[in-house]
């Protein structure tokens, strides 16, 4: 079993950790385990960008979405 020493943890952080554990109805050890698990779990998106784009309905040609460029002013760079 692994031990974690919290002697060097600031009082403020220790109090916050204890409050968070109490809110979740867990022991300090279980709260720390939950926090560490959430930090180290691989983050996966529900859908990739490719999947989201492929799921978009076919709504016509791109020409249907051409913007009207009236009142365009010239600028010099």
Structure-model confidence comparison of residues 74 and 66, the more confident one: 74
pTM over 0.75: no
Q: How many CB atoms lie within 10 A of CB 49?
A: 8
Tens digit of each residue's pLDDT (9 = 90 or more) over 26-50: 999 999 999 999 888 877 767 788 8
Of these ranges, 13-17, 50-54, 62-66, the one predicted with the greatest mean pLDDT is 13-17
In terms of phi and psi (left: phi > 0; alpha: psi -120 to 50; beta: otherwise), the region of 25 is: left
In whole numbers, what is the pLDDT of the chain averaged over residues? 85
| pLDDT the model gives residue 60 | 73
| pLDDT the model gives residue 1 | 64
């Amino acid at each position: 079993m692994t031990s974690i020493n919290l002697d060097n943890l600031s009082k403020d952080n220790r109090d916050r950790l204890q409050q968070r554990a109490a809110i979740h109805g867990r022991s300090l050890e279980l709260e720390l385990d939950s926090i560490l698990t959430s930090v180290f779990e691989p983050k996966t998106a529900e859908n990739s960008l490719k999947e989201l784009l492929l799921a978009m309905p076919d709504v016509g040609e791109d020409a249907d979405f051409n913007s009207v460029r009236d009142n365009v002013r010239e600028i010099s760079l």
